[in-house]
């Protein structure tokens, strides 16, 4: 099966995001908002540097949508980091991967994209897999489940805005607005709740910022390269990374049912990609006749 550029970019973004998740979990005593502050400052500096180097206007064109994307992303990330620090890695990641479902649903109204019944079936399979995983993981409280779901809702909103900005903004500008909006808000909170990092924790914080910048860029390009409904589910691949990282680094184990749920998620992902590839190939043949 030949993968589109959008799918390939999203696979790369998923890997870098998964590695970043591990680093966040290595700092359980550092407030989530403080981690986001470091992440935002590093992302701000790197984005600004590359924008100036490429001579791209820093402030972009559609400032209202760019600010809204930054705000939605900030809320989503804060809630996500809180869940990462308080529940098992794969469980937190799984909750966050409800975002593609919210992305697709919101995309009907925001991006005006069509979703076929076969895709809804694929989403149902993936969602059922998430339900199975969460149902057998008693370490996840109702509070963190709700926070994880809201993180996914705001992420879905952010992804749709990225799609809307496809023709008007450079991907680096979209990435730049995230720390531009997030850093001042995080700085205010952190000034009253500062916890000083120790030793290698400074290196971990720096790495979080760098990896996030790379992942954000590939994610942004992915959403600008393809339809939301085609690539949104690719994020689910991160569950594989999370299970592996969680077992090796944190000794997190899961039941057979949890692994079954993971398999259902992956099946839904691959079926959706396969279905969209067939539709696109058919559309190309029709246009060439």
pLDDT over 80 (residue 272)? no
pLDDT over 60 (residue 179)? yes
pLDDT over 80 (residue 39)? yes
Tokens at 24, concatenated: 């966040």
CB atoms within 10 A of CB 35: 25
Residue 4 has what DSSP assignment?
Answer: P
pLDDT over 60 (residue 106)? yes
Distance (Å) of CA 279 to CA 32, 272, 276: 42, 11, 5
Supply the mean pLDDT for the chain.
83
The total number of residues shown for the chain amounts to 289
* H runs (alpha helix) in the chain: 5-25, 32-53, 63-86, 89-96, 99-110, 117-136, 142-164, 171-192, 201-225, 228-231, 238-250, 256-287
Task: Name the residue with higher pLDDT: 35 or 227.
Answer: 35
Amino acid 230: pLDDT = 65
Confidence of residue 30 (pLDDT cuts 50, 70, 90): very high
What global pTM score does this model have?
0.78
pLDDT over 70 (residue 154)? yes
Range from 28-42, 103-117, 249-263 carrying the lowest mean pLDDT:
103-117
């Amino acid at each position: 099966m030949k993968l589109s550029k959008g799918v390939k970019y999203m696979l790369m973004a998923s890997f870098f995001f998964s590695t970043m998740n591990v680093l966040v979990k290595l700092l359980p005593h550092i407030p989530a908002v403080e981690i986001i502050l470091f992440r935002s400052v590093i992302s701000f500096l790197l984005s600004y540097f590359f924008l100036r180097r490429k001579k791209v206007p820093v402030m972009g064109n559609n400032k209202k949508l760019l600010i809204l994307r930054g705000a939605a992303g900030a809320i989503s990330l804060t809630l996500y980091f809180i869940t990462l620090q308080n529940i098992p890695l794969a469980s937190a990641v799984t909750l966050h991967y409800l975002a593609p479902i919210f992305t697709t649903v919101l995309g009907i109204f925001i991006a005006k994209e069509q979703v076929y019944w076969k895709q809804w079936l694929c989403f149902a399979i993936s969602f059922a897999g998430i339900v199975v995983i969460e149902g057998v993981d008693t370490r996840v409280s109702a509070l963190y489940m709700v926070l994880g779901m809201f993180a996914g809702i705001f992420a879905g909103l952010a992804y749709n805005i990225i799609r809307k900005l496809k023709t008007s903004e450079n991907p680096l500008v979209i990435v730049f607005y995230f720390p531009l909006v997030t850093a001042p808000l995080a700085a205010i909170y952190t000034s009253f709740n500062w916890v000083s990092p120790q030793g290698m924790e400074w290196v971990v914080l720096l790495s979080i910022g760098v990896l996030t910048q790379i992942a954000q860029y590939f994610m942004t390009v992915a959403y600008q390269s393809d339809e939301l409904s085609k690539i949104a589910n690719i994020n689910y691949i991160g569950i594989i990374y999370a299970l592996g990282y969680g077992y090796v680094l944190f000794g997190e184990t899961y039941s057979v049912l949890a692994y079954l749920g993971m398999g259902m998620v992956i099946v839904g992902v691959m079926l959706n990609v396969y279905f969209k590839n067939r539709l696109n190939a058919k559309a190309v043949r029709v246009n060439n006749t």
